[in-house]
Structures are given as C-alpha cells and as structure tokens.
C-alpha cells in the first residue's frame, strides 16, 4: 500500500488528526467526545501513517515503545482518581475544580486529568495491539 | 421503533448463538461479537427510548422542566463497548496464536485438554 | 481519610500494578515489589476487616454522588472477609510464583497482570452496584485469559479457547440480565434494587431474570451443566496461576450468587428446588469426574467443581444456619484449594510429571514435605478436627432440619468420594514404589534451584497450612464469623440502610 498519494497525504494527516484528537479530548466534558474517542482518533493517525509508510517508520517517529503509554496514562488517571482522598478528604474520584475558567481548555478539574489518562491508555493499548498483530502477520 | 429494535436484538442473539455453534474458530469470534452487540442494543432498548433534552436541571429551578432522556444506558453501553473492544482484540490474537500452534481452526480437533490420560 | 478505608485494597493493588508495569522487563525488581506489596495489601485487608468487625457495615459513594445515583462501595462482613482471604491467597501465590514461574513467562508481564486480577477480585467483592460488578468481572476474566495463555503452549491455547468462549458467553448472559433488570426497575444500585424488585408487578419476568443471573454466575462458578470449561483449562497454565484460579475465581461466582439471591431476588420454592438440584448434581458429577482422572491437577479441578456443590447446597436451603455453613465452606475452600494447586506445583517441580500412575516414592524421598502436604490434602477431605469437617457438619444437620435428604445423601457421597480420591492420590504419589522417571532435559528441577527459590515456594505452602490448621482448630471463631455473615445476609436491612443512608 505504499502509494505516493497516501504517503504524502498521511504526512499531513498525522498532525492534523492529532490536533483533532486533542480537540475531541478537551470538549469531552460537556459535549460528545472525551478521552476514549480522542485516544482512538490519535491511534488511527498513527495507524494510517503505518499503512502508508510501513511499521518501521512509524516506530521511528514515535521514538518510544507505545506500551510505555499504558502505565503512564494509568498513573495520570490513578493520581487524579485518588487526589480527592489526599487533598480534600472526599471519596475516590470526586471532582476537584479550579474555580476560574481558562481559555481553550475550559474548566480545569481532576476529571480532565482522568480523561488525559484514559487518552494515553487507549492510545498505548491500541497501538500495542495493532503493532503486535501486524508485526507477526 | 421499539418493535424494530426488538426484532434486531432477537436476530442478533439468534445469529450470534448460531455462529458460536459452528466449528470454525473465526465464526466463534464473530458469534461472540454479534451476541455482545445484541446485549448492548438490548440495554439501549430497555433504557426507554425517549427523545428529549439532556438531563440537566437549570440553575434557577428544582425539577426538570421538560422531557429528558436517560443518559445512563448510553454510559453503560459505552462501558460495555470498551470492554468488548478489549476482549475481541484479545480473542483475535488468541485465535491467531492457536491457529499457528494447533494448525487447525476446527474446534472439534482442539481436544487435547479433554483427553483422558 | 479513614472513611475511605474501603478503597484502600483497590488503591494498593492498582498502585502495585502500575509500578510493576513501569519495571516491565526487570524480573528481579518485580518479584520483590510484588511480595512486599502483597504484604502491604494484607495489612490493609486486615485493617478493613477489623474496622468492619468493630463498626459494622460501611459504605462510601465514589465521586461523592449520593446513592442510588452513583456507584457505591460497600464493605459488610462478608465482603471484608473475602477481601482478607484474597489478600492471604494473593500473598501466598505472589511468593510462590516468584519462586516457581520461569523467567521467560515472567517477562510477559506476569506480575502486573496478576495484581490487576487481584484488583478485579477486590473490586468485585466490595462493589455495591450491579453494573460495576459486571465491570470487575470483565477485569477478572481479561486478566485471567492473559495469565492462562502466558507461555503459549498448545494445551494452554486450547484450554484458553474453551475458557474464553464460555466465560465471555457468561458475561453476555450477565449483561442481558442487567439490561432486563434495569428495564424493570430503572436502578442499578443493589441496595436500591432490593426494594424495587420486590415492588415489580410482572413476577414472571423477575423470575426469568433471576434465572438469567443464575446461568451467568453459574457458568463462572462452574455449576453442574455449565462447568466444562474448568477441567479443560485449569490444568494447563503454571501451577501458580492454577492456584489463584482454583482458589478464588469460581468463588467470585459463588459470592455473586449468594449476594444476588439474598439481597436482590427473594428465593421462591421453585428457585430453591432448582438450586438444590443443581447442588446435588454438581456434587455428584464433580466427584465422579475426579475418580477417573490421573493428572493431579485435573483431579483437583474436578474437586473444585464438586465442592462448589456444598456452597450451592447451603444457598439452596436458604436458612441462616445453612448459609453459615456455606460461608464457612467458602473460607475453608479458598485456603485449601489454593494450597493444593501449589502442592501439585511442587510435586511437578520435583518429579517433572503430573500423572499419578507414573509418580511414586514421594514419601520415601521427601518425608518432611509429605507430612506438610498431608495437611491441605486431608483438610480437603474433612477429617475431624481439620477444617473441611465443620462446615459439612452444619450443612448436614441443617439438611436434616429442613428435610432435604437427597442433599444430605449427595454431601455424604461427595465426601466419601473425596476421601477415596485423596487416599488414592496419597497411595499412588506418596507411598507407592514407582518406576524411575526419565530425566527431562532443560527442566528446572526443584533440587537444582537455589535455596532462596525453594524457600519462596515452600513458605507459602507452610503459611497456608497453618491458616488451614487454624480454621480447623479455631473453628469456633470461624463459625461465629460465618454466623454473623449469614445473619447480615438474611437480614439485609443494615446493608440497605448503610448504603442509602436512611
């Protein structure tokens, strides 16, 4: 599948899709979207790149093993989950919110960090699965 | 709408069970996927299909002002979909490995663990 | 922070799993972290148990959403006891697998996944929300698939295909049952469901729904016509994995059955008869299956099935004393079955064979080990005063009181067959003078292992043997614990009031 059109397009699509995935991640609190969908879109970006340029190039582009994203994302989600226990003494996963609204990001709270964790885990899991399936084919 | 969904759910369950009873490994997985989708649609159907606003009470009132749709079934389905995503990707890897090692996709020939020794 | 004590078993396991994932390829570190973390987890579980024992049922709302809208985590005495048992078995198996599982397998992330499995078990015991229970069940089965297939031998993959199919089917049945329940009541909180299900007018649909739950949990706990995945898969993975599976996985299904049928659905005479018939047939078929097998781990697998029958018999009789007997049996069974699979692992490491016809001479070669192994083996049979005896006694006496003579007959039959099987196993493996087994090349024989590894394998067996001895000789304490659990289960007002903050 190494056609010129796909290869050229995928080079432009990769950053575009990644930005789009972050946009989906950030709007997820009140509107359709969120960490899971965002993570899937981001992983599709890399999968498309891998289809066009081969797995080796995508691995080089990533620079680290996608499996590493799993514990990283899990720890972000885990820390945001237990932060209310540590800081305010409220039960697990209670939302802690920064009172003022920020531009672009919107309201900042522990739920956002949980979603970022989910985003990273989904990205890591999907890429690990797809890379390992297509490698051993 | 309800009747249509009920028929679809029934068809999905029937097709899923039929596929599980086939002897091929790949059909087994397709059957499990169909059954899972049937269960998800069943949650959607039984959560009452109603067209309405999101269930958010405006700040200046104490009760819902208009018809709202129940968001919980969708949350449940999303969770179930995420879980079945993980299960199915595992199943595909498992089938691939099993096919490579056992060298058959016929479930009837996968009986080494049931043999009396 | 103390109010959130219920979350600590979950937090500790999650933290452990994450830390272990960061050191994915450093096996040495993983062994140390896993054992130290399991000790920590045991401490937390003991703390939770003591707190629940002193202060009664506790409930916390995750995310601070009021019940019945949010997900509630509840620790009553039953849940706290099972979390404690999980912690004990988890510590034992963690140490045993550090000693016995070969490092190529550990490199595939054995320890992180093992701790995710324990996380799923703790979550399933502590949750008070039926859909959340489904999620924990899924975590348990996904992690158990991975543990089952690590290594990728032919038998493992074949076993995994069967295990996978039937367990996923069970999950789908469970999900369907949840969908119907939600459609009937519009609630998922188990305490809230207790009153809402009783108010539903369409009783037929409620009964059908109860049977859907019975089938879903029945597959997971290996009840009579639904158990075939268990003997096809439990003897294939490394013994450490078999130990945690045989000890805990089927008991989660039994836990869910007991919880659902004491809290949500009331058991009518029809369901009672169904449960009793299933119990009798499970006892019978498990026992008969165990007689004909020659593979040690297959024998134990059939005994796992057989002994699930005792617990279901206790549930089916539906009196407080019978449920107390079932609870005592669960406590005894988790400890003994975990230990027995570890024992089979040590025998395999020494002799490189699982077939009892080919084994022999064990007592002559290793008299001290044989005496140690005799403790779990004969506790399983229930020779008084060892731990298996007491729950059977209360089950039989309660069967007499409720005039369920078929159940008594089945319990006695299964006990005698268990005795026969264990004596046969003892005679074949320990006392018989066997032929010399051929040396298997490249096999990590027990004698070739370092002393440290040997200790790691034997210490958990000794530890669990002492726990089993305590269960037998301190049966009075365990019986009063079981009676308190049974009282809380039958009179569920305290549970409901704690969750709904009435």
CB atoms within 10 A of CB A50: 22
**Residues whose CB is less than 8 angstroms from the CB of residue B74 and which lie 6 or more positions away in sequence, other chains included:** B44, B47
The per-residue pLDDT string of chain A (137 residues; one tens digit each, 9 = 90 and over) reads 568 888 888 888 899 999 999 999 988 877 788 889 999 999 999 999 988 888 888 888 888 888 899 999 999 999 999 988 888 888 888 888 877 777 777 778 888 899 999 999 999 999 988 888 887 65
Nearest residue to B46 via CA among C186, C204, C198, C133 = C186
C297 at B interface, C-beta within 8 A: no
The model scores a pTM over 0.90: yes
Partner-chain contact C157 B94, CB within 8 Å: yes
- Spans of all domains in chain B: 2-112
* Neighbors of chain C by Cβ distance (3+ pairs < 8 Å): A, B
CA–CA min distance B102, chain C (Å): 6
Nearest to C1 among A75, A78, A85 (CB): A85
Nearest residue to C91 via CA among C157, C156, C45 = C45
Q: What are phi and psi of A109, to 5 degrees?
A: -155, 175
> Do the beta carbons of residue C171 and residue B76 sit within 8 Å?
no
Question: Would you call C61 helix, strand, or coil by DSSP?
Answer: strand
Which residues from B are below 8 Å from C179, CB to CB?
39, 42-43, 45-46
Which residues from A are below 8 Å from B78, CB to CB?
36
Nearest residue to B90 via CA among A57, C168, C60 = C168
Partner-chain contact B93 A133, CB within 8 Å: yes
Largest Cα–Cα separation, chain B: 74
Partner-chain contact B78 A136, CB within 8 Å: no
Question: Helices (DSSP H) in chain B: which residue ranges?
Answer: 2-20, 25-46, 72-102
Which run of H or E residues covers position C19? helix C8-22
Pairwise CA distance, residues C262 & C254, whole Å = 12
Count Cβ atoms within 10 A of the Cβ of residue C40 and give its class: 0-12 exposed, 13-18 middle, 19 or more buried. middle
Nearest to A92 among C22, C24, C62 (CB): C62
> Do the beta carbons of residue C229 and residue C245 sit within 8 Å?
no
CA R_g for chain C: 22
In a mutational test of the C interface, the residue from A67, A70, A71 whose CB has the highest number of chain C CBs within 10 Å is A71
> Do the beta carbons of residue C454 and residue C43 sit within 8 Å?
no
Question: Would you call B117 helix, strand, or coil by DSSP?
Answer: coil
Nearest to C64 among A71, A78, A91 (CB): A91
ipTM: 0.93
In a mutational test of the C interface, the residue from A92, A121, A129 whose CB has the highest number of chain C CBs within 10 Å is A92
Question: Helices (DSSP H) in C190-319: which residue ranges?
Answer: 190-199, 203-220, 229-233, 239-244, 250-259, 269-292, 296-317
Which residues from A are below 8 Å from B89, CB to CB?
129
C355 at B interface, C-beta within 8 A: yes
B79 at A interface, C-beta within 8 A: no
The tokens for B58 are 């405006």
Specify the pLDDT at position C36: 95
Pairwise CA distance, residues C215 & C492, whole Å = 24
**Residues whose CB is less than 8 angstroms from the CB of residue C411 and which lie 6 or more positions away in sequence, other chains included:** C283, C310, C313, C392, C395, C396, C399
Partner-chain contact A36 B86, CB within 8 Å: no
Partner-chain contact C178 B43, CB within 8 Å: yes
Pairwise CA distance, residues C215 & C335, whole Å = 26
- Give the C window 388-417 contacts with B, CB below 8 Å: none
CA–CA min distance A9, chain C (Å): 35
Partner-chain contact A70 C21, CB within 8 Å: yes
Pairwise CA distance, residues B72 & C183, whole Å = 12
Nearest to C158 among B32, B39, B112 (CB): B112
The tokens for C32 are 């140390």
Indicate the DSSP class of residue A32.
S
Pairwise CA distance, residues C129 & C68, whole Å = 9
Q: What is the DSSP string of C454-487?
A: HHHHHHHHHHHHHHHHHHHHTHHHHHHHHHHHHH
Q: What is the DSSP string of C289-300?
A: HHHH--BHHHHH
In chain C, the N- to C-terminal Cα span, in Å, equals: 23
Pairwise CA distance, residues C470 & C476, whole Å = 10
- Spans of all domains in chain A: 4-135
Nearest to C158 among B39, B48, B113 (CB): B113
In a mutational test of the A interface, the residue from C12, C63, C116 whose CB has the highest number of chain A CBs within 10 Å is C63
In chain A, the N- to C-terminal Cα span, in Å, equals: 15
**Cα B65 to Cα B52, B54, C69, distances in angstroms:** 11, 11, 20
Specify the pLDDT at position B99: 87
Average pLDDT per 10 consecutive residues for chain C, totaling 502 residues: 83 94 89 95 95 92 85 93 96 93 86 95 95 95 92 87 93 95 91 91 92 95 90 91 92 94 89 94 93 91 94 92 94 94 92 85 88 92 87 92 92 94 92 81 83 91 94 92 94 90 78
Partner-chain contact A94 C21, CB within 8 Å: no
Pairwise CA distance, residues A99 & A116, whole Å = 20
A11 at B interface, C-beta within 8 A: no
C69 at A interface, C-beta within 8 A: no
> Do the beta carbons of residue C418 and residue C389 sit within 8 Å?
no
In a mutational test of the B interface, the residue from C137, C179, C216 whose CB has the highest number of chain B CBs within 10 Å is C179
* Cβ contacts from B onto C, under 8 A: 106
> Do the beta carbons of residue C291 and residue C417 sit within 8 Å?
yes
Shortest CA distance from B89: residue in chain A? A129
Which residues from C are below 8 Å from A95, CB to CB?
63
B92 at A interface, C-beta within 8 A: yes
**Residues whose CB is less than 8 angstroms from the CB of residue C226 and which lie 6 or more positions away in sequence, other chains included:** C166, C170, C215, C218, C219
Specify the pLDDT at position A2: 67
Specify the pLDDT at position C1: 55
CA–CA min distance A44, chain C (Å): 24
Question: Would you call A6 helix, strand, or coil by DSSP?
Answer: helix
* C73 DSSP β-pair partners: C60, C127
Specify the pLDDT at position C113: 94
CB atoms within 10 A of CB C459: 14
Nearest to B32 among C162, C168, C179 (CB): C168
A125 at B interface, C-beta within 8 A: yes
Pairwise CA distance, residues C426 & C432, whole Å = 9
Residues of chain B below pLDDT 50: none
Which run of H or E residues covers position A97? strand A97-102
Specify the pLDDT at position A137: 57
The CATH fold of domain B2-112: Helix Hairpins (1.10.287)
Which run of H or E residues covers position A77? helix A69-87
Pairwise CA distance, residues A92 & C251, whole Å = 27
Specify the pLDDT at position C230: 92
Question: Would you call B21 helix, strand, or coil by DSSP?
Answer: coil
Specify the pLDDT at position C339: 95
CA R_g for chain B: 21
Pairwise CA distance, residues C251 & C324, whole Å = 15
Pairwise CA distance, residues C282 & C161, whole Å = 23
CA–CA min distance C23, chain A (Å): 10
> Do the beta carbons of residue C431 and residue C397 sit within 8 Å?
no
Pairwise CA distance, residues B108 & C376, whole Å = 37
CA–CA min distance C72, chain A (Å): 10
B94 at A interface, C-beta within 8 A: no
Largest Cα–Cα separation, chain A: 57
B17 at A interface, C-beta within 8 A: no
Q: Which position has the token pair 């006694």?
A: C393
Pairwise CA distance, residues C501 & C493, whole Å = 11
Shortest CA distance from A96: residue in chain C? C63
- Give the B window 36-65 contacts with C, CB below 8 Å: 36, 38-40, 42-43, 45-48
Largest Cα–Cα separation, chain C: 69
- pLDDT tens digit string along B55-89? 777 778 877 777 777 888 888 999 999 899 889 88
Partner-chain contact B89 A129, CB within 8 Å: yes
Specify the pLDDT at position C151: 83
Which residues from A are below 8 Å from B96, CB to CB?
133, 136
Specify the pLDDT at position A11: 86
């Amino acid at each position: 599948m190494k056609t010129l059109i796909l290869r050229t397009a995928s080079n432009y699509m990769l950053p575009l899709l990644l930005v789009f995935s972050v946009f989906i991640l950030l709007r997820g609190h009140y509107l359709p979207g969120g960490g899971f969908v965002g993570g899937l879109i981001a992983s599709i970006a890399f999968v498309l790149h891998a289809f066009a340029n081969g797995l080796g190039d995508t691995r080089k582009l990533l620079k680290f093993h996608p499996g590493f994203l799993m514990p990283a994302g899990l720890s972000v989600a885990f820390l945001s989950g237990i932060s209310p226990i540590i800081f305010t003494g409220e039960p697990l996963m209670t939302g802690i919110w920064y009172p003022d609204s920020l531009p672009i990001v919107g309201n900042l709270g522990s739920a956002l960090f949980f979603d970022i964790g989910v985003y990273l885990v989904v990205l890591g899991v999907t890429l690990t699965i797809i890379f390992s399936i297509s490698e051993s084919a | 709408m309800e009747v249509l969904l009920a028929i679809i759910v029934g068809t999905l369950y029937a097709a899923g069970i039929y596929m599980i009873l086939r002897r091929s490994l790949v059909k087994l997985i397709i059957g499990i996927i169909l059954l899972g989708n049937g269960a998800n649609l069943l949650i959607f159907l039984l959560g009452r299909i109603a067209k309405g606003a999101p269930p958010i009470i405006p700040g200046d009132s104490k009760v819902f002002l208009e018809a709202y749709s129940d968001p919980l079934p969708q949350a449940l389905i999303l969770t179930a979909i995420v879980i079945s995503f993980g299960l199915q990707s595992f199943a595909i890897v498992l089938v691939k490995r099993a096919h490579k090692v056992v060298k058959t996709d016929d479930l009837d020939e996968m009986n080494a663990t049931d043999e009396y020794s | 922070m103390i109010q959130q004590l219920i979350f600590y078993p979950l937090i500790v396991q999650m933290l452990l799993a994450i830390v272990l994932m960061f050191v994915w390829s450093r096996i040495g570190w993983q062994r140390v972290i896993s054992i130290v973390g399991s000790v920590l987890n045991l401490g937390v579980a003991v703390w939770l148990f003591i707190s629940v024992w002193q202060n009664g049922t506790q409930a916390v709302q995750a995310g601070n959403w009021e019940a019945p809208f949010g997900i509630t985590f509840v620790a009553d005495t039953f849940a706290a006891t099972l979390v404690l048992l999980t912690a004990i078995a988890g510590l034992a198996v963690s140490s045993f697998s550090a000693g016995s599982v070969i490092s190529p397998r550990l490199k595939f992330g054995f320890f992180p996944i093992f701790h995710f499995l324990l996380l799923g078990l703790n979550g399933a015991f502590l949750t008070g929300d039926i859909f959340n229970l489904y999620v924990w069940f899924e975590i348990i089965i996904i992690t158990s698939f991975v543990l089952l297939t690590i290594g990728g031998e032919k038998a493992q993959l074949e076993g995994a295909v069967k295990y996978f199919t039937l367990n996923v089917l069970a999950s789908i049945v469970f999900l369907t049952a949840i969908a119907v329940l939600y459609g009937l009541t519009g609630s998922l909180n188990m305490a809230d469901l207790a009153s809402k299900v009783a108010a539903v007018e369409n009783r037929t649909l409620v009964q059908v729904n109860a049977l859907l739950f019975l089938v879903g949990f029945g597959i997971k706990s290996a009840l009579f016509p639904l158990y075939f995945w268990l003997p096809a898969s439990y003897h294939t993975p490394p013994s450490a994995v078999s130990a945690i599976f045989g000890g805990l996985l089927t008991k989660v299904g039994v836990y869910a059955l007991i919880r659902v049928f004491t809290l949500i659905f009331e058991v009518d005479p029809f369901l009672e008869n169904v449960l009793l018939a299933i119990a009798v047939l499970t006892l019978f078929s498990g026992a008969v299956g165990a007689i004909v097998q020659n593979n040690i781990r297959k024998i134990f697998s059939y005994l796992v099935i057989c002994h699930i029958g005792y617990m279901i018999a206790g549930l089916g009789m539906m009196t407080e004393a019978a449920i107390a007997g079932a609870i005592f049996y669960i406590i005894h069974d988790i400890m003994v079955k975990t230990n027995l699979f570890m024992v089979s692992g040590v025998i395999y490491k020494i002799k490189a064979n699982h077939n009892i016809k080919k084994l022999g001479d064990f007592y002559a070669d290793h008299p001290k080990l044989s005496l140690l192994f005799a403790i779990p083996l004969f506790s399983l049979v229930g020779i008084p005063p060892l731990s298996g005896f007491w729950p059977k006694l209360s089950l039989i006496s309660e069967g007499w009181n409720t005039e369920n003579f078929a159940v008594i007959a089945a319990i006695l039959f299964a006990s005698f067959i268990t005795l026969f099987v264990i004596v046969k196993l003892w005679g074949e493996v320990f006392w018989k003078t066997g032929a010399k087994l051929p040396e298997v090349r490249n096999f990590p024989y027990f004698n070739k292992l370092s002393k440290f590894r040997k200790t790691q394998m034997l210490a958990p067996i000794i530890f669990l043997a002492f726990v089993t001895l305590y269960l037998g000789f301190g049966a009075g304490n365990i019986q009063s614990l079981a009676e308190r659990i049974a009282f809380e289960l039958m009179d569920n007002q305290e549970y409901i009031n704690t969750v709904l903050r009435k």
